[in-house]
């Protein structure tokens, strides 16, 4: 399934325990329809001390905090509208562009461009 957000996008959480938080997408998992957002859905893992494989150095354990993935339907893309940021849906528009073959001849193709529904501008 195609995702409406990409890695590096600013998104707002619209459902769940972190509702209202704005953060950057740091990982996308399209096969599971999930995204990882910085500062959202923080979980704690209890890790043991462990060696690095050579037996010389020990990697410290303890209680580690990290972000867990959330479902992509629980986030909305955030775009700048004037001085404030607003959550918006994502639309797609086909634009015609001119490309060149290696021999120098030009040809026209269309490419898909993401647009913000609220502002109508390209993302």
CATH of domain 10-49+60-116: 2.30.30.30
Q: What is the pTM of this model?
A: 0.80
pLDDT at 1: 57
Can you give the pLDDT of all 123 residues of the chain as single tens digits?
A: 578 999 999 999 999 999 999 999 999 999 999 999 999 999 999 999 888 777 778 888 899 999 999 999 999 999 998 889 999 999 999 999 999 999 989 999 999 999 999 998 998
Widest CA span of the chain, in angstroms? 62
pLDDT at 3: 86
pLDDT, tens digit, for every residue of 67-92? 999 999 999 999 998 889 999 999 99
Alpha-carbon distance of 99 to 113, in angstroms, equals 16
40 contacts 23 by C-beta, under 8 angstroms: yes
pLDDT at 59: 82
Please classify residue 123 by burial: count the beta carbons closer than 10 Å to its beta carbon, then call 0-12 exposed, 13-18 middle and 19+ buried.
middle
Alpha-carbon distance of 59 to 33, in angstroms, equals 33
Alpha-carbon distance of 105 to 100, in angstroms, equals 6
Alpha-carbon distance of 66 to 43, in angstroms, equals 6
For the chain, domain boundaries: 10-49+60-116
pLDDT at 36: 97
Pairing of strands 90-100, 106-116: antiparallel
Nearest to 40 by CA among 6, 8, 7, 74: 74
């Amino acid at each position: 399934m195609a995702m409406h957000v990409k890695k590096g996008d600013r998104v707002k959480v619209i459902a769940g325990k972190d509702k209202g938080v704005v953060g950057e997408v740091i990982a996308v998992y399209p096969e599971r329809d999930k995204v990882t957002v910085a500062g959202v859905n923080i979980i704690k893992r209890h890790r043991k001390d462990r060696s690095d494989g050579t037996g010389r150095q020990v990697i410290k354990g303890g209680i580690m905090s990290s972000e867990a993935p959330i479902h992509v339907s629980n986030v909305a893309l955030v775009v700048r509208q004037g001085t404030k940021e607003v959550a918006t849906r994502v639309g797609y528009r086909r634009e015609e562009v001119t490309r060149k073959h290696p021999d120098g001849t030009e040809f026209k193709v269309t490419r898909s461009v993401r647009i913000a529904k609220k502002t109508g501008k390209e993302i």
